[in-house]
Amino acid sequence: MASSLTTASTGTPGSEKTFFGHPRGLATLFMTEMWERFSYYGMRALLVLYLVSGGADAATGSQGGGLAMTAATATAIYSVYVSMVYLMAMPGGWFGDRVWGARKTVTIAGFVIMAGHASLAIPGQAMFFVGLALVAAGSGLLKANISTMVGHLYDGPDDPRRDGGFTLFYVGINLGAFLAPLVIGTVGESYNWHLGFLLAAIGMAVGLGQFLFGTKHLSEKSSVVPNPLSDAERKSVLVKVCATIAVVAVFYGIVVAAGMYTLNWALVPITLAGLLIPIAVIVRIKRDKDLDKAEQSKVTGYIWFFVAAAVFWMIYDQGGSTLSLFADSKTTDHIGPLSFPATWFQSLNPLFVMALAPVFAWLWLWLARRNQEPSTIVKFSLGLVGIGISFFVFLAPIGLATGDTKVSPMWLVGIYFIQTVAELCLSPVGLSVTTKMAPQKYASQMLGVWFLAVTAGDCTTGLLSLAGVDLNGTGIIALQAVAVTVAAVAVFMYRKKVKALMGDVH
């Protein structure tokens, strides 16, 4: 999964060390993130299956009660939703820095997410899209600020407990993501979709409740607004927001009145925005005349990593759409006597992350002591090759699952394992290189730019789906596998040029 783990600002250490030797506030943030990820990944595991339920693309014998959409439309909605979660991380960080402060922003985010899941629990297409929008907005607000609050607990970047604290926090992310499909996925897929969404709302309510109860253990700095808006800035922002809302409302009012409105009138503009906004942000940073020559060079070098990451996430995030649909309709639902719903496959990635992350951390250190650790560029290339291999492997079960024939679930277990190995080569490295190559002026914003790579990748998948491309087709799977492999080769072949652009970053 795309990590929520980011480098945060500094603060004073907590006076208590009751959570594995760390400030007591870490337990509060650990549990908040775990329950938020529980609600998010539980709902996400159900999303595509709920959208196709009752329609022609649903698995034979699956429960009805869904929105009976095609697989292409469901994949497009899923891709747009995931991309918006990561896109909203940038304005989420802005609210924390300039309007509410990190603690208040996380509190508001918790209520918004809970309301979103509760809306999904109410049958009906209108409430479904309201709920999806609320969850995306709330997740963006929370994602950008909760990691900052973890950093507030420690005495600056040199505090020896800091890395260990973020490691524990990352465990909370994956623990929630692992448990969610097993609980929410099982209830939603096997009994009632809306009851599953309700469980996600309850999970977020538990997380929010313990956050509010445990705020006394957090650093006071988390309540401070670092760079508050002036009255003039606040007025300007309100005018621009109201003007934008008015223009959008008038435009869609005309479309609806003319009888032209379809779902694509909403999905296509959002998807295009998800592609154009990351480009615009990078161009704005690149053209900033305040950056010196060395910083300009690093930004140019970073574009290589950004594009490669976007290609990576384009394939990786299909684990919750393309692979999920294949698991539902073309994969047997048992291993020996053990039967399970298709949503359980969504627990494999966080399980593999928790098992393999310590191994990779040890491996990089072991190689570093022998001066054999791969460079950042080589690790990126390995991640891209790995994600490409996963889709080359995917071609085999697609070829075997013809007609009513279903394949062994071990095919998907193997594919998710390969993708997790690829993720561990690229995702943590991408976060690290982002912080290292960021110009001083954009030190915090560049982490938002890293998340925009996820937005760009998912919006590419969304556009393919909206164009009617069958993402479970052999041709498009092979094309994506080839594309990401070519990207890996390009990054590796130009590694010397990219290294030169990186300057003193290694």
Q: What is the CATH number of the domain that holds 172?
A: 1.20.1250.20
User: In angstroms, what CA-CA distances link 70 with 83, 136, 138, 141, 323?
Assistant: 20, 22, 27, 31, 15
Question: With a threshold of 0.85, does the pTM exceed it?
Answer: yes
User: In angstroms, what CA-CA distances link 302 with 6, 116, 272, 333, 493?
Assistant: 17, 35, 22, 43, 16
Question: Could you report the per-residue pLDDT of 437-446, keeping only the tens digit for each?
Answer: 888 777 667 7
On whether residue 399 sits in a domain, the answer given is yes
Tell me, yes or no, whether 237 and 96 share the same domain: no
Domain extent, residue 257, equals 233-261
On whether residue 4 sits in a domain, the answer given is no
In degrees and rounded to multiples of 5, residue 335 shows phi and psi of -125, 110
On whether residue 3 sits in a domain, the answer given is no
Tell me, yes or no, whether 249 and 384 share the same domain: no
Count of all residues that appear for the chain in the document: 506
Q: What angle do CA 19, 21, 27 make, to 5 degrees?
A: 20
Q: Give me the chain's average pLDDT, please.
A: 88
Burial class (CB in 10 A: 0-12, 13-18, 19+), 15: exposed
Tell me, yes or no, whether 248 and 295 share the same domain: no
Question: Could you report the per-residue pLDDT of 389-406, keeping only the tens digit for each?
Answer: 999 999 999 999 988 899
| pLDDT at residue 2 greater than cutoff 80 | no
* CA-only gyration radius of the chain, Å: 22
On whether residue 114 sits in a domain, the answer given is yes
- What element of type H or E holds 23? strand 22-23
Give the integer Cα–Cα distance in Å for 475 and 28: 47
Tell me, yes or no, whether 266 and 256 share the same domain: no
Q: Which of 210, 241, 261 is the C-terminal boundary of a domain? A: 261
Query: What's the confidence (pLDDT) of residue 396?
Result: 96
On whether residue 11 sits in a domain, the answer given is no
> Could you tell me whether strands 17-19 and 334-335 are parallel, antiparallel, or unpaired per DSSP bridges?
unpaired
Tell me, yes or no, whether 347 and 436 share the same domain: yes
Tell me, yes or no, whether 290 and 364 share the same domain: yes
Tell me, yes or no, whether 257 and 271 share the same domain: no
Give the integer Cα–Cα distance in Å for 301 and 22: 37
On whether residue 9 sits in a domain, the answer given is no
Tell me, yes or no, whether 138 and 253 share the same domain: no
Question: Could you report the per-residue pLDDT of 287-341, keeping only the tens digit for each?
Answer: 888 888 888 898 899 999 999 999 999 999 999 999 999 999 999 988 888 889 9
In degrees and rounded to multiples of 5, residue 143 shows phi and psi of -55, -40
On whether residue 286 sits in a domain, the answer given is yes
Domains: count for the chain: 2
On whether residue 10 sits in a domain, the answer given is no
Tell me, yes or no, whether 483 and 365 share the same domain: yes
Tell me, yes or no, whether 253 and 118 share the same domain: no
Give the integer Cα–Cα distance in Å for 274 and 282: 13
Tell me, yes or no, whether 304 and 405 share the same domain: yes
Tell me, yes or no, whether 134 and 238 share the same domain: no
> String of b and e for 418-446 (b: at least 16 CB within 10 Å)?
bbbbbbbbbbbbbbebbebbbbeebebbb
